[in-house]
Structure 1
Amino acid sequence: MCVLTIRRLFTMNAKSSSIQALYDLSKKTFTPSVTLQPSPQAIHKLSSLLDTIGPEDVGLKDESQEDERGHGLFGINVFNRVDRWAQPITYVDIHEGQSFTMCIFCFPTSAVIPLHDHPGMTVLSKVLYGSLHVKGYDWVEPPCIRKSEQTGQPAVRLAKLSVDRVVTAPCGPSVLYPKSGGNLHCFTAVTPCAVLDILAPPYDEAAGRRCTYYHDYPYSSFGAGDEDAIVHGKEDEYAWLTATDTPDNLYMRSGRYMGPAIQT
């Protein structure tokens, strides 16, 4: 066997072991028999392993450098390109089970996943390549709700800003929890980028984990009230959120996982 072939086999085995190890530890961390939130130590261990994963470990290459228009790897060739603004976000399923989901989102430049929640879920995310703007909120507890004075208008609920920054690879993973870390968040691709997510437990409408989209309003939009004692004059750190329908312009399609297979 030639040296080049041996090197290729070694590289393939290393990549396979990386994503397999991530799956195995996720399975150990999030099991159906565990009803409590995993310990901070367990989440830290999983986050540290996720930090070692790069785009090549899941069959991707850095599109942010090679294609500034962000068309990505899935189904569009140089003879059949359309304007980048019409490009969809590509969803790639690695594993979907009862206790957790592993998946990748590939964004073209300027693509947006609007403000949405992860009810009762822990989510670990790693930007594999490119730059992504992340804006996230957490609900103010106890709930602070304003009912609209106009008939038929939905109520709004007070939330506090948790994160508002651009994340650029290479970077460490982020973790959000059911009630902290920016459980309600939105993404905007600054450049073509890809994000590897571990969601535990996964969305499940029957179990009450339905993805809800929201619209955020500045705190000043609804005037002063009893919640002023919570805000303490820092209005830019707070917003009113109201549930909304799934956006019509959320353009997402499925892509095929091109990385090493995992043994479940």
Structure 2
Amino acid sequence: MGMEKMSRDRKMKRTRQKKVTAVQKLYDTCREVFANCGPGVVPPPQGIELLKDILNGMTAPDVGVWPNMPYFRVKETSRFPKITYLHLSDCDKFSIGIFLLPPSGVLPLHNHPQMTVFSKLLFGTMHIKAYDWVDDGASISMPKVDSSKGEVGPVSVRMAKLKVNSAFTAPCNASILYPTDGGNMHCFTAVTACAVLDVLGPPYCDPEGRHCQYYRTHPFTCFSVDDKKLPDDKKIEDYAWLEEIDKPAGLSVVGAMYNGPKIIAK
């Protein structure tokens, strides 16, 4: 009877394990990985790898999204087709959500202050362009150089280095950016309909100074400053000046109900 009971217990354990959905496992792991983190604090390497492995194995059906959903139908012709955001979960330590971008949808260049961010492209082809600050210095005010008009300005800018400038097609592994490395400022451009599962730790929080800042890029050659010259072995095209701007006019990110497998908050 003892052996039979052990066998039943093992079967019941396997049954319970099968009932844990991929998105629930993601949530539970986020709670564990970000438990002792905060603004600017990167999770330990083993936590990073654990979350990355879970995200790498996730697919669109795991979160109930599909390329034929109505969110991907572009009805108007504009610079910024409407983007939909599905909120899955958030707390003061992390947030989980999905961005649904129709073809030609753009999330303009923006930052992730003091955050570690995991992004998993669930389907589609997306171009990602990302930058990191060259140093921790503040923005500087400089006259803009225009070949036809001479100096125009001044403009407040800060130097950044290009980290990513490539198209990605699902299935592909999750990307990770860090508070000061990995392309903390990035721009998403949908080549086809795309779904991106995002984990932010910690999430944006205006009262705590973590608001989403947008940027305009200027070629490195637009400005001329004596102490901001590149070494001879650096490529000018890998550097740019970033100017803080208001949220671009016409950009529309609209929240919608998440109808995928439910998450049980603990």
TM-score interval for Structure 1 and Structure 2 normalised by the shorter chain: 0.7 to 0.9
Give secondary structure in 2 for the equivalent of 1:147: strand
Residue 27 (structure 2) aligned to one of 23, 28, 33 = 23
Q: Is the 8 A contact 1:162 1:181 kept in 2?
A: yes
Q: CA deviation at 1:113?
A: 0.6
Q: CA deviation at 1:41?
A: 1.9
CA distance in 2, matches of 1:223, 1:158: 12
Q: Is the 8 A contact 2:72 2:102 kept in 1?
A: no
Aligned length: 240
Normalising by structure 1, we get a TM-score of 0.84
> Highest CA radius of gyration, 1 or 2?
2
Q: CA deviation at 1:87?
A: 4.0
Q: CA deviation at 1:254?
A: 1.2
2:92 maps to which residue?
98
**Which structure has more strand as a fraction of its residues?**
2
Q: CA deviation at 1:142?
A: 4.2
1:51 maps to which residue?
56
CA distance in 2, matches of 1:230, 1:210: 34
AA matched with 1:114: P
1:42 maps to which residue?
47
2:238 maps to which residue?
237
2:75 maps to which residue?
82
Q: Is the 8 A contact 1:136 1:161 kept in 2?
A: yes
Structure 1: runs of 5+ lacking an equivalent: 1-12, 67-71
Q: CA deviation at 1:258?
A: 1.4
2:13 maps to which residue?
none
**Percent identity at matched positions?**
40
CA distance in 2, matches of 1:156, 1:231: 23
Whether 1:250 and 2:251 are equivalent positions in the alignment is: yes
Q: Is the 8 A contact 2:128 2:186 kept in 1?
A: yes
Give secondary structure in 1 for the equivalent of 2:29: helix
Give 1:1-264 correspondences, 5 Å limit. 17-31=21-35, 33-35=36-38, 36-61=41-66, 63=67, 72-74=69-71, 82-83=75-76, 85=78, 87-143=81-137, 145-149=139-143, 153-223=154-224, 225-229=226-230, 232-264=233-265
Normalising by structure 2, we get a TM-score of 0.83
RMSD value over aligned CA atoms?
Answer: 2.4
Q: Is the 8 A contact 1:15 1:57 kept in 2?
A: no
